[in-house]
Amino acid sequence: MGVDRQVRIADKMLGAGLPPLVQTMYDQALPHDQDELDELVRRIGSLNAMGCDIIRFSYPSREFHDPLAFLAAKSPIPVVADIHFDHALALDALQAGVHKIRINPGNIGARWKVDEILASAKDHNAAIRIGLNSGSLPKGEGEPAVLMSNTALTYLNWFEQAGFTNTVVSLKASDEMVTVEANRRFAAQSGYPLHLGVTEAGSVVSSVVRSTWALGQLLSEGIGSTLRISITGPIETEVQAAVELLRTLGLRKKGIRIVSCPRCGRASFDSQGFLASVERELLTIDKDLTVAIMGCQVNGPGEAKSADIAITGIGNAIFLYEGGKLVRKVGADEAKTALLEAVRNAK
């Protein structure tokens, strides 16, 4: 188990020596309506453009087989099915063509059921994530972090006995310290890829702070092959937060880096409202650029000159900068279009 491993999930590779990938989890039941499914595929494409590499779906019933199969075939990124308790659902999801399943072997049932899942995953060239949360561990002695790591190692031994190694492990707790310690312990004993996350981390502010503190430490130590920042909120925000963390750590280069002022009494331009109107579109543009959105005469011109593309509002005047140079003055109703056009056309 100590050998560093790489794992294949459809066309994605993760593990030793490879950059971390970003995941999210769809926040609703799978739709049956074809128009809604088509729209979901488009949404996945937008998430992918923002930097999402893998998406997971809950799979609680066979009634969702056809929608899951459609998404597995049409999604631009690998599809993962999240399975609990019922090994037959895991087999059905693999039959539907998913690229990976997430199970906790401890709540699947008898060992033979786990072995059936492993055999099917091997036949379908699918990956499996062993997903352990602190709230769903077997009874045992010792600290939660130790129990989590040891339990994962036990399950990995089951998998290897069955000849299955296309495996990812996740050790998550709502306690950030437990999450960090469990992943450190596991990484010191095993070379299997780790999916990182702080589970049930709360709303945007609490989740981003807690997840950044925990996952930032692990990623800085070279621990972690995929990550999800779990937020009680839009999944697009999860992706944005995870990508920004990777960019901040120097682990991902591409993507728009946004610089914007926090607003103060000097502000004469609604930078907050403008950012809200343009941010989602900016984040789907696949370019390595810094974009500044500023709202006053103190820091605005300086930040604009340091950015690749910038908008600075001063009074009723809105100025567009490209490559640090003022290129034109635009009206408020033109500013969004002008900024997006400049970003898309930037070399």
Examine residue 32 and state whether it is found in any structural domain, yes or no: yes
Provide the b/e sequence for 39-50 (b: ≥16 CB within 10 Å): ebeeebbbbbbb
pLDDT score recorded for residue 266? 60
226 plus 263 within the same structural domain? no
**What value does the mean pLDDT of the chain take?**
91
Helices (H), 221-318: 235-248, 271-283, 300-306
> Which residue range forms the structural domain that includes residue 46?
6-248
Q: State yes or no: pLDDT of 297 exceeds 70.
A: no
The answer to whether residues 70 and 90 belong to one domain is yes
Look up the CATH number of the domain holding residue 277. Answer: 3.30.413.10
Q: What tokens does 238 get? A: 């999860």
Contact at 8 Å (CB) between 137 and 166?
Answer: no
Q: CB burial class (10 A; 0-12, 13-18, 19+) of residue 35?
A: exposed
Quote the crossing angle between the two packed helices 271-283 and 235-248, to the nearest 10°. 90
Average pLDDT over residues 3-7: 90
User: Backbone phi, then psi, for 241, in 5-degree steps?
Assistant: -65, -45
Per-residue pLDDT at 300: 64
- C-alpha–C-alpha distance, residues 316 and 166, integer Å: 59
Identify each DSSP E strand in 123-199 by its residue range. 127-133, 167-172, 194-196
pLDDT confidence tier of residue 76, bands split at 50, 70 and 90: very high
Residue 239: predicted pLDDT: 96
Binned at pLDDT 50, 70 and 90, residue 211 comes out as very high
Q: Which residue has the tokens 């909120």?
A: 233
pLDDT at 164 over 90: yes
Nearest to 43 by CA among 257, 232, 239: 239
> Are 153 and 64 in a shared domain?
yes
Which of 248, 270, 289 is the last residue in one of the domains? 248
The DSSP bridge pattern shows strands 167-172 and 194-196 to be parallel
Predicted confidence at residue 264, as pLDDT, reads: 64
Residue 239, domain CATH: 3.20.20.20
**Domain end residue (candidates: 194, 224, 248):** 248
Name the domain boundary from 248, 266, 294.
Answer: 248
Q: Is residue 1 situated within a structural domain? A: no
Long-range contact pairs involving 273-281 (C-beta distance under 8 Å, separation at least 24): 274/311, 274/313, 274/335, 274/336, 277/336, 278/336, 278/339, 278/340, 280/236, 281/340
Are 173 and 240 contained in the same domain?
Answer: yes
How far apart (Å, rounded) are the C-alpha atoms in residues 304 and 33? 46
Looking at the fold, whether 76 and 169 belong to one and the same domain comes out as yes
Residues 211 and 332 in one domain: no
In the predicted structure, residue 263 carries a pLDDT above the cut 80:
no
The stretch 145-166 carries a mean pLDDT of 95
DSSP per-residue string spanning 298-346: TTHHHHHHHSSEEEEEETTEEEEEETTEEEEEE-TTTHHHHHHHHHHH-
Which range scores top for mean pLDDT: 69-83, 100-114, 254-268?
69-83
**Is the pLDDT score of 225 beyond 70?**
yes
Q: What is the pLDDT of residues 21-38, one digit of tens each?
A: 999 999 999 999 999 999
Q: Is residue 103 domain-shared with residue 206, that is, in the same domain?
A: yes
* 199 within some domain: yes
Span 189-203, pLDDT tens digits: 999 999 999 987 678
Residues 322-338: tens digit of each pLDDT? 988 888 898 888 888 98
Residue 331 lies in a domain: yes
Identity of the amino acid at 338: A
Range 145-173 average pLDDT: 95
109 pLDDT band, cuts 50/70/90, is: confident
Separation CA 177–CA 187 (nearest Å) = 15
Residues 231 and 273 in one domain: no
Q: What is the mean pLDDT of residues 221-239?
A: 95
